[in-house]
Amino acid sequence: MRVIKTSPPATMKLYVSFAARIRAMIDEGVLRPGDKIFSVRQASQKYSLSISTVLRAYLLLEQEGVISSHPQSGYYVTPRKRLQKRGSPLAQDINLADVDASKLVLTTLKSIREFGTVPLGSPFPDPQLFPLKKIHQYEKALTDDEGEWGVLSDLPPGNALLRQQIARRYLASGMDISPEDIVITHGATEAITLCLQAVAKAGDTIAIEAPGYYALAHTVERLGMQVAELPTDPDAGIDLIALQQAASKTRIAAVILTTNFQNPLGFVMPDAKKQDLVTLLASLQIPLIEDDVYQELYFSEQAPRPAKAFDREGLVLHCASFSKSLAPGYRVGWTAAGRYRQEVERLMFLNSLSLPSAPQIAIAKYMQRDGFEQHLKQLRHTLRSQYVLIRNVIEESFPPGTTLSVPKGGYVIWIQLPAALDTLKLYRAALDNGITVAPGSIFSRKKDLTHYIRLNFSHLWTVAIEQAVRDVGALACSMLATADSAS
């Protein structure tokens, strides 16, 4: 983990700054709900900005819901709900002495939904980043085209057109995976669950990485299996020596890893290490369930390869979904399960019988007919830009001694605060102030990551988001000062 000092592009500073100026006018009552604001040309002339800068600022404010565009009329201030800043009832229900990750996450999501808290602690990407209206149009149009779907087309392994589109994505990454090798599932979580059921049984030990995504450990335990946590390097991934030693002492039925843009650390496991991992597990005949839901969200020019690309024995069960890249809420995922494909398909049939066809066909048609690549390009640019913005604000406002992960993709950043700070208490203090964060202790069964937090930077950058990040930093500074004075 390290901190990189980089300033955001000058053009980004201009449009974000101008959006902040308009937002301030609204917050101060200079512009009221229903008022017409400057036209693009008027704003350009008044503030000596380019037309494109003004348009980007207005688009940002529209996406935030602060203003709305009226065709042939201009831009108007929209009515807004005020953010509840103090005393969320949910914050009072948290028992810091006995923290359960699922309860904490549920509290976080409820506070975002019911009280409008700032979603820095959310595990989900901002829905505004995705072409959901277009996909919904395809889904709605299916009611007039009954020939494309029916009971039989709902059966596993899933819609043929969608599996074909996914296979083409694999081929573009240099992987020869047939549509027949792919099973469509209700999101990536079900894909992982089915893969676990295909390779292991109740009582078996499953190796996972720590820190790692809390839902994976819960999935293992719900199936009656045992969790073995293995240390993970913030730059390179799981410790292969520790994995080999664990396998020599205990029968490990499977390993679950995120090799690309791991949540919460954000690293990409180097190709050489991916190959060593796959080779090691093949020599031990241990299946690898690869959680690759962030695969499309890379910041570099080229997509990293999954561990599946190095699989020669069908022991890697590759799981992914469209929830992070195209259609959150549609719950459409898949797995390319190698030698276990038939068993996964059978379990899918027994567990769910069938999948809704409409979401599958809508996504497939969007991929086939619309600018999926252009959407992904814009999405990656937005996430990378917002990572730079949040990193700069963290560097300016968090306590001395804070260190940051350097995510290579995805939409979360992992923050190590000074050891004296208890981030569960910071979580509660932030929630009292209308802000959510994800405390580090939920990312390990040992609850030992007590001075770490994870922040989500996918939500479109606004004055409110920036101020929330600064407020978290100020709370952390205040809590450290109190701890120092007490000692």
The DSSP secondary structure of 151-218, one letter per residue, reads TGGGSTT--HHHHHHHHHHHHHTT----GGGEEEESHHHHHHHHHHHHH--TT-EEEEEES--HHHHH
Look-up: residue for tokens 């009656």? 224
Q: What does each of the 487 residues of the chain score in pLDDT, given as a tens digit?
A: 655 433 444 444 677 778 878 887 887 677 888 888 999 989 988 888 888 888 888 888 887 778 888 877 789 888 654 434 444 566 656 665 566 788 888 888 888 877 778 999 999 999 999 999 999 998 888 765 555 555 556 789 999 999 999 999 999 889 999 999 999 999 999 999 999 999 999 999 999 999 999 899 999 999 999 999 999 999 999 999 999 999 999 999 999 999 999 999 999 999 999 999 999 999 999 999 999 999 999 999 999 999 999 999 999 999 999 999 999 989 999 999 999 999 999 999 998 877 888 899 999 999 998 789 999 999 999 999 999 999 999 999 999 999 999 999 999 999 999 999 999 999 999 999 999 999 999 999 887 899 999 999 999 888 889 999 999 999 999 999 887 766 6
10-77 has CATH 3.40.50.11540 classification: no
State whether residue 263 is helix, strand or coil: coil
Based on its alpha-carbon atoms, the radius of gyration of the chain, rounded to whole angstroms, reads: 24
CATH 3.40.640.10 spans which residues of the chain?
149-370
Tokens of 438: 């994800």
Tokens of 385: 């830009």
User: Contact at 8 Å (CB) between 226 and 375?
Assistant: no
Cβ-based burial of 427 (10 A; exposed 0-12, middle 13-18, buried ≥19): buried
149-370 has CATH 3.40.640.10 classification: yes
Tokens of 262: 């791991």
Query: Taking Cα atoms as reference points, which of 458, 456, 417, 416 lies closest to residue 436?
Result: 456
CATH 3.90.1150.10 spans which residues of the chain?
89-130+374-486
- Which one-letter amino acid corresponds to residue 367? M
| pTM of structure | 0.81
Question: What is the topology classification, in CATH, of domain 89-130+374-486?
Answer: Aspartate Aminotransferase, domain 1 (3.90.1150)
Please state, in angstroms and rounded to a whole number, the distance separating the CA atoms of residues 400 and 28: 33
Query: Taking Cα atoms as reference points, which of 484, 476, 442, 438 lies closest to residue 119?
Result: 438
CATH 1.10.10.10 spans which residues of the chain?
10-77
Name residues whose C-beta falls within 8 Å of residue 188's C-beta, 6 or more positions apart in sequence. 291, 293, 319, 320, 321, 323, 333
